[in-house]
Amino acid sequence: MTQPHFSPTQLRRAVLSSYLGSVIEYYDFLLYATASAVVFSRIFFSNLDPLVGTIASFGTLATGYFARPLGGIVFGHFGDRIGRKKMLVLSMSLMGIGSTLIGLLPTYTQIGIWAPILLVLLRVVQGIAVGGEWGGAVLMSAEHATSRRGLWASFTNAGAPSGMVVSTLVMALSAAIAGEQGFLVWGWRIPFLLSVVLLAIGLFVRSRVTETPVFTKAADAKPSAPPLLEVFRRHPRNLALAVGVGFGAFVAQSTLTTFVISYAVRAGFPRSTVLNALTLSSVAAALGVIGWSALSDRVGRRPVVLAGAAGMGVWAFLLFPMINSRSTLLLTLAVVVGQGVVHSAMFGPLAALYAELFSTRARYTGASLGYQISGIGAGLAPLVFASVLAGGRGTTTVSIIIAAGCLLSIGSILALRETATGQLTDEPEVTAATVGR
pTM of model > 0.75:
yes
Chain segment 199-233, per-residue pLDDT in tens: 888 888 888 888 878 787 776 665 567 888 989 99
User: How far apart, in Å, are the Cα atoms of 279 and each of 42, 92, 242?
Assistant: 23, 24, 29
Give the C-alpha separation, 119 to 375, whole Å. 20
DSSP assignments along 84-110, one per residue: HHHHHHHHHHHHHHHHHHHHT---HHH
pLDDT of residue 4: 52
pLDDT at 1: 43
The answer to whether 76 and 227 are in contact (CB under 8 A) is yes
Q: State the pLDDT confidence band at 154, using cuts at 50, 70 and 90.
A: very high
Segments making up each domain of the chain, as ranges: 8-434
Q: Which CATH class is domain 8-434?
A: mainly alpha
Least confident of 47-56, 108-117, 293-302, 393-402: 47-56
DSSP state at residue 270: -
| Confidence (pLDDT) at 250 | 94
Which DSSP symbol is given to 357?
T
Query: Residue 371, Cβ neighbours under 10 Å: how many?
Result: 28
Which position has the higher pLDDT, 23 or 113?
23
Query: Is 80 exceeded by the pLDDT of residue 86?
Result: yes
b/e sequence 125-145, b meaning 16+ C-beta within 10 Å? bbbbbbbbbbbbbbbbbbbbb
pLDDT-derived band at 238, boundaries 50, 70, 90:
very high
Q: How far is CA 380 from CA 57, 66, 316, 338, in A?
A: 12, 9, 17, 19
Task: Measure the CA–CA gap between 408 and 216, rounded to whole angstroms.
Answer: 36
Output the pLDDT for position 431.
42
Provide the residue count of the chain: 437
Contact (CB, 8 A) for 261 and 422:
no
Q: Kindly report, residue by residue over 322-374, the tens digit of the pLDDT.
A: 999 999 999 999 999 999 999 999 999 999 999 999 988 889 999 999 998 99
Angle (CA) 184-281-330 rounded to 5° is 95
Nearest 5 degrees, angle CA 358-CA 359-CA 363?
60
The predicted-structure confidence for 277-309, as pLDDT tens digits, reads as follows 988 999 999 999 999 999 999 999 999 999 999
Read off the pLDDT band of 51 (50, 70, 90). Answer: low
